[in-house]
A and B are shown apart, each in its own frame.
Chain A
Amino acid sequence: MKNAVFIYSPEQLGYKFSDSHPFNHKRLLLTMDLLRNINALSDDDIIPARVATDEEIALGHDENYIEIVKKAGHGELSPEQGENYGIGTEDTPIFPNMHEASALLVGSTLQAVDYVMQGKSRHALNLGGGLHHGFHGRASGFCIYNDSTVAIRYMQEKYNARVLYIDTDAHHGDGVQWAFYDDPTVCTLSIHETGRYLFPGTGKVTERGNGQGYGTSFNFPIDAFTEDESYLEIYEQAVREVFEHFKPDVVITQNGADAHYFDPLTHLYGTMKIYQEIPRLAHKLAHEYCDGKWIAVGGGGYDIWRVVPRAWSFIWTEMNDLSLPTGSLPKPWLDKWQPESPVPFIPTWEDPIPLYEPIPRKLEIEEKNAQMLMKALHMIRTEKR
């Protein structure tokens, strides 16, 4: 069995709102080129994406909404008609063939799922997916179709699997959470900047699921200006204890890379260190609990030059048991992309120390996050005792 497959087709880059839009899948090219430069990725590893059928998309979305997205992408929808569906907004503008582009991203994640669930590969990576804000009948926060929601339903129906979803995007994974809020066979875990200022505003510790699904939603809202140490303390305890508690058959991780200090949309102060550690633990626990079954998708990440390529490369090297890349980034890669980048690259795999001025009240932020962690895990810790 292969260790991992990399799902990619150039058409994934067709999910593009405009040249100036912050969501930019050029990150896929930058990441792949970086991996090729360190000889970590070859053509044999790459599995082409496929287009999800309407029936598959309807596992997570209203059929009427799918029709609206199709019309919008074919120029048959007025901006006013789109507004009720979150389409044609400044966040999610209409673009040509938006249904087809979105259906391909969903299909890519389904492709990743099939490879893992059919035992063709232990792990699978689809960096084009992770569009966690998509709602049943509405686009939200750059996301049209929610590939993770569709993929989880698909795993339930086709493989009868018990699924753990782990979301480390700096924004709350609301679309996936609400889709499975009542479902006790899917556990969602999201670590994100608190919604006090940041979109979408939800993801409070008290959102724990509903009815039968009570106790299978976990939220870890961390304060703005949270740094590596505190972030990783939360991540490691949260993920480990929820794995142990829920005992999933398969894990799907959403790997938004926007908790970094450089990210323009959020206020967390993570460095490359968290992106080294996040896949490492996910990988380890997938082997401990799920016989290795681990699907990873992308997500946010709006510094596509300095942050995302390095951060996402670590997921692939981890999946393949390659040693952690360190030291200088390959010169051909830097030379090739620097002219296009509006900012000077960080020329090494690690971030320079220090990356930013020290934060006042650092200790209080850490203390507050630690308190939050206790509240969020209180229920399963009491049960254990």
Chain B
Amino acid sequence: MMLIEEIMNRDVHTLAPTNTVKDALNVMKEKKIRHLPIVDDKEKIVGIITAHDLKNILPSSIKDALNLTTYDTILEKIMVKNPLIGHPLDFIEEVALTLYESKVSCLPIVSGGKLVGIVTPTDLLYTYIELTGANKPSSKIDIRVIDKPGILSDITEIFKKHHANVLSVLVYPSASLKESKIISVRVQIINPLSIIEDLRKEGFDVLWPNLPGVDHL
């Protein structure tokens, strides 16, 4: 089970509530970031500023005149107060759900009353890439199965018989057939033909790869 502390950014750039809009713009530009947690002198998070918030309050860059009062506004006045936060021990799935449902673009991670990290949807996407991608040379085999106990074991038995090293297994619902699931296996082998033949012999529906438009998942 992956925890947020395994993927969060620990090197968090912050500002104080007394810093100004100008300070925030500078930090964002320099560090190439879009989210700035605002912390008090005890490192407690009190608010958050995003690049999007700043864009909304600033005059258009087409106008030459600098609106000095806007640039000098202190962050306390414009920050989002009491932002949603997460804990280092939160499960990645929970955080994904929080980000998806609340539509916030980042989640400060707080422990012991202090800000210890930050997570954005991009970090979660990277985790997804790692989960589904090929970190080692491998082929992928998709198998459509009936949703009943013991199926996964029947399948892995066949991979075992071929001494094929399974790198990852994903199980997800089939879009077209509600009563079935797709098992997607990444296996360290260049020639999966004999495994596919055995799977088919056992009656499994091997889908790899589908001719587009002919056989939808």
Contact = CB atoms under 8 A, between A and B. Distances in A.
**Across chains A and B, which 3 residue pairs bring their CB atoms closest together, nearest first?**
A201-B134, A200-B137, A141-B190
B193 A202 contact: no
Interface in B17-35: none
Contacts of A225: 211-212
Interface class of chain B by DSSP? loop
Contacts of B192: 199
Interface residues of B, number: 27
Contact of A361 (B142, B191, B193, B213): B213
A40 interface: no
B100 interface: no
Contact of A90 (B136, B189, B208): B189
B24 to A, nearest CB: 31
A376 to B, nearest CB: 18
B140 A201 contact: yes
Contacts of B193: 22, 264-265
A201 B139 contact: yes
A224 interface: yes
Interface string A55-96: 000000000000000000000000000000000011100000
Nearest to A89: B163
A210 to B, nearest CB: 16
Interface of B: 133-134, 136-142, 162-165, 186, 188-194, 208-209, 211-214
Contact of B163 (A90, A197, A361, A364): A90
A90 B138 contact: no
Nearest to B213: A360
Given A197-B140, A200-B138, 18 more contacts: A89-B189, A90-B162, A90-B163, A90-B164, A90-B194, A91-B189, A133-B137, A140-B137, A171-B190, A197-B139, A199-B189, A200-B134, A200-B136, A201-B137, A201-B139, A202-B134, A364-B212, A365-B212
Q: Which bucket holds chain A's interface residue count?
A: 20 to 34
Nearest to A194: B209
14 contacts: A89-B188, A90-B189, A91-B191, A196-B209, A197-B142, A198-B139, A199-B192, A200-B137, A201-B133, A201-B134, A201-B137, A267-B209, A360-B211, A360-B212
A174 interface: yes
A165 interface: no
Given A91-B190, A133-B190, A141-B190, A199 B137 contact: yes
A139 to B, nearest CB: 10
Interface string A201-226: 11000000000000000000000110
A330 interface: no
A359 B211 contact: yes
A195 interface: yes
